[in-house]
Amino acid sequence: MLDVYDNRIFHLHNDQISYALHVLPNGQLGHLYFGAPMHGSQADWQYLIDSGSKSGGTVKFSADSDFTLADTAQEYPVWGTTDYRQGALAISQGQTPLYPDFQYDHYQVLRGKKRDLGFPRTFGEDDEVETLQITLVDHVLALRLVQSYSLFQNQAVIVRSQTITNESDQVVILDRMLSSSLDLPQGQFEFVHLSGTWARERQVKTQNLVQGRAVIESLRGASSHQQNPFVALQRDHADLNHGEVFGMNLVYSGNFIAEAEVNEWAQTRMMIGIHPTSFTWKLAPADSFSTPEAVLSYSDQGLSGLGTVNTRFIRRHIIAPRWQNRPRPIVLNSWEAAYFDLTEEKLTTLLNAAEEVGIECFAVDDGWFGQRDDDRSSLGDWVTDKKKFPQGIKRFSETVHDHGLLFGLWFEPEMVSPGSQLIKAHPDWVVRPDQGRYSIARGQYVLDFANPAVVANVFNQMKTVIQAARVDYVKWDMNRNITEAFSPYLQQQDRPQNEFFHRYMMGVYQLYQLLLTEFPDLLIEGCAGGGGRFDLGILYYSPQIWVSDNSDAIARLSIQSGTALGYPLEAMSNHVTAVPNHQMQRITPLATRYNVAQFGTLGYELDLTKLTAPELVTVKKQITWYKQQRPLVWQGAFQQLQAPAFGDKNTVAWTITSPDREHIRVGFFRILADAAGRSVDFLKIPSADPTTQYRIDETGSVVSGDVLRRVGLRLPYQFNGANQTEAVLQGDFQSAVIELTAVKKVSN
């Protein structure tokens, strides 16, 4: 809902949040409020606007000696004004910086947002979303700026974006154009971000904000393993499930920057958008440029509560409608079972075992094409290796389908190997400068996806294979970040090379669009050397993403905990793999590997033919149970009760609660055994309905939700050196998943 007062105060609100802005004395937009819902009157908002004092040491506008931007909360600050903080927008003409003066012109309200595969953006029906568009104009420079604010029904989220149009007769250059800026009046925050590296992605990191800037960024051509475009500001003294948190996420998969800045008056500014270091955009007369969208979220229930807010929103307004309430198939992936040593005979034997245990999709990973016997050849030549598949990949796909399974295939469409036929025919399709040195990584180069002809060629190759083999599932991998960024195509088109990274991402999205338009039922799983491109841009097209190349269950506890702050469980592709684990050489129980993996989209990646008969029986039971309970993963509310970055680093506890609160799944994980542990441990279950009695599946006991909330669920007894007879869990890397099922309401 939108309230407008005198065309100068705008209040977007629903039953979850309020967002208020106003027109400043200089005509630009100022920020008033973002947070829990407020039902303020015009007088209330005017009270917040009025200020009879000014801060010391500031530069004033000549027209008003009491007005400065230095300490003013703004919606979209321009760099280089009387505000010396970082700006969201910077423009130049030739070598001359411009300082646009965008003044309020008019507003309009739009209902509904159509889903468009051309570029990732949030969407919703007419009765779900309304967008406030405010147009500002700089009449001197002849530039028009449209600020968009989308409010969604029953969501604690505001989505922001901008479009700038050059209405002059001169070319101007965008040097910096971020997607969102949020000014908050206080500086007592912790900056929360998800940082790491390959095989250790999205570790929760927090740092206290002091005067100055905290910045995370990626300049790798992808959102990256090292950083993630989800960030948050957490109030001092907030914890995992209590306190105010403000989140930002970018619907984008390329270079980005996210930062929090505290000025000398303890005001905090959080911004996010395309990284300006690798970005310029040439705006010819009548040209426009639109930023990727930024998702601003709010919770007063801590970071786990913010994760719930983000999950609810992404499920409905990012993930493709066809996958929102559709089971994702349980995949058996060939990679860790066979690596490059693929033969049709070996895979058929594996297929038979997969059918026996209830696998739903058999995926052939890397190594099926060209002469791909290692990771140094054949990328770019998407034709079947007849040595491995003498009758072609189509024939093997028919075998898979005859067994009643879906068929999946691995591609790395953005890359090319030095000796490939593609690079021989089109050496100018590679990202590299035409002179000087350039790098090679993993034996491969990056294709110039800024060039539409490259995208079209790769699409046609993939289309041929997908059609012929009736591919149901594609694993789209990307194993090499961009270095020496240079596009021969942009050089030919006389476009600035600093447009490359953004145009590259536009090419990636174009290939997604082509594939999903041609094959609307195709399930594409995103992957980038594991979790190197786990972001809302990819999730818009790929409803699930490979979380990490590190499939070790214990390592995955912290990776999945961090990921869940910004993304839904069902977006996480989790595989049960062999032990010793191939990345960590750690040996964990099969039950623990499954218990971690079932908090997400379940898959398997191991040689089933090497399992013992009892292990195969266990796997079959795991799969049968997961299929029965699968809707809970994509419909339930996930809550983190204990997580590695908060409190005890030796235990992790998660719950998923059904929308009606009649089913609660509790996952408890203890990393290392405690020889002197307590005899009894209880875990409070905040999502339990106090008016309901629950049956505890592990013991058959019935207990009220009130007890579960206030005292807790009694955890399985851990062996502590003194309770050999009673102990249920013994040794390191133990886990338990406990199902709580409502049996009746408690009488008053």
The candidate with the shortest Cα–Cα distance to 317, out of 517, 180, 509, 150, is 150
Report the distance separating Cα 513 and Cα 453, nearest Å. Answer: 15
Backbone dihedral angles phi then psi of residue 678, each to the nearest 5 degrees:
-65, 160
Structure-derived torsion over alpha carbons of residues 630, 633, 634, 635, reported in degrees to the nearest 10: 100
**Are 694 and 688 contacting, i.e. CB atoms less than 8 angstroms apart?**
yes
At 75 the three-state DSSP class reads: coil
Tell me the two tokens of residue 217: 């960024």
Residue 235 has a CB neighbour count (10 Å cut-off) of 17
Is 549 a residue of the active site? yes
Taking the CA of residue 133 as centre, how many other CA atoms within 13 Å lie in the half-sphere pointing to its CB? 14
Report the distance separating Cα 95 and Cα 98, nearest Å. Answer: 10
**Are 352 and 383 contacting, i.e. CB atoms less than 8 angstroms apart?**
no
- The catalytic residue among 477, 535, 552, 689 is 477
Where are the strands (E) in 115-156, listed by range?
129-138, 143-152
Report the distance separating Cα 241 and Cα 306, nearest Å. Answer: 9
**Are 733 and 592 contacting, i.e. CB atoms less than 8 angstroms apart?**
yes
H or E segment and range at residue 294: strand 294-299
| 734-745 and 651-657 beta bridge pairing | unpaired
- The catalytic residue among 71, 448, 549, 552 is 549
Which residues have a Cβ under 8 Å from the Cβ of 633 and sit 6 or more positions away?
569, 570, 598, 599, 600, 601, 656
Report the distance separating Cα 213 and Cα 37, nearest Å. Answer: 29
Report the distance separating Cα 145 and Cα 133, nearest Å. Answer: 10
DSSP 243: B
Where are the strands (E) in 153-290, listed by range?
157-166, 172-184, 189-197, 200-208, 212-218, 230-235, 245-250, 256-262, 268-274, 281-283, 288-290
The candidate with the shortest Cα–Cα distance to 75, out of 109, 26, 123, 5, is 26
DSSP 499: G
**Are 364 and 410 contacting, i.e. CB atoms less than 8 angstroms apart?**
yes
Catalytic residue set:
477, 549
